[in-house]
Each structure stands twice: as C-alpha cells, then as structure tokens.
Amino acid sequence: LIYFLFFILVSDFSVSLPKGYARLMYKNNLIYKAYTYIEENIPNGSKIAYDLYVAIPSDKGIVACHFWQGCGTDYIEEFEPDYVIFNMNFTFNGVHPSTTRLTKYVNDHHFILIDTIESVSVWKKPP
C-alpha cells in the first residue's frame, strides 16, 4: 500500500509541480509581457497584425488579424494594420514563415520599429 501511494504521489507531483511553477511565474512569460505592453501602449480601437507569442486584450476594442488566420496572406494588404507585432526569431522546420512575410510588409510600407519585447518586435504605421 505504501509503495502504491508513493507511486501515485510521485506521478501526481511530477505533473502538478511544473504546472504550478509555470502559473506562478506567468509574469515572466513572453506572451504576458506582450499582452501587458499592448494594454499599456497601444490605443483603443487600433488594428494589429500579429503572430505567435502575442495576446490581444479583449477590452480595448482592438481589431486583430493573426498571421496564421489571414494576415499571413495578401489579406494583410486589405487589412491595413496600424501595428504589426511579431516574433523576429520564430522558426518552423528551419523556416521563418511569419518573420519573412511580416518583415516584407513592414519594409514595403515603411513601418517604424517602436519597441521590442524580448524577441517580439512592435512596428507602427508611419504618420
């Protein structure tokens, strides 16, 4: 019985402790930092094109277009975002899918790099 309980407790703690630690340290998470940055620095009602590691506050009236759900295609030209926020270091199978496309967009439209949150770059449409 003791051996069985020990096995159950060890398996339970091996799952719950890392999850609990991650929840405790959520403020060090890149997604949380990007969310906080948007909440504090991006005006209400802005249009944002974004990719991974970015979370959009729902109470700011922001119109958002995720790279993997539309803004990774030519729809970004129609969407005409005020801000483009993306992770410059993201790779998938050795390829930079969002980095290449969004970098081209911000360069073609002369966006201004206004800030960086670790590896996430925040670009603003020129005035």
pLDDT in tens, 40-51: 999 999 999 998
- Check residue 23 and give its pLDDT: 67
Neighbouring C-alpha atoms within 13 Å toward the C-beta of 64? 23
- Residue 84's nearest CA partner among 110, 58, 57 is 110
Entry pTM: 0.77
Helix (H, G, I), strand (E, B) or coil at 22: helix
pLDDT in tens, 78-105: 999 999 999 887 777 877 777 788 889 9
Classify the C-alpha dihedral 93-122-63-105 as positive or negative: negative
* CA–CA separation, 76 and 87 (whole Å): 17
Element (H, E) at 47: strand 47-50
Which residue's structure tokens are 């719950």?
A: 16
- Check residue 122 and give its pLDDT: 97
Q: Across 5-14, 61-70, 77-86, 99-108, which has the greatest mean pLDDT?
A: 77-86
Q: Across 28-32, 43-47, 72-76, which has the greatest mean pLDDT?
A: 43-47
DSSP for 55-121? ---GGG--EEEEGGGTTTTTHHHHH--SEEEEETT--BTTB-HHHHHHHHHHHHTT-EEEEEETTEE
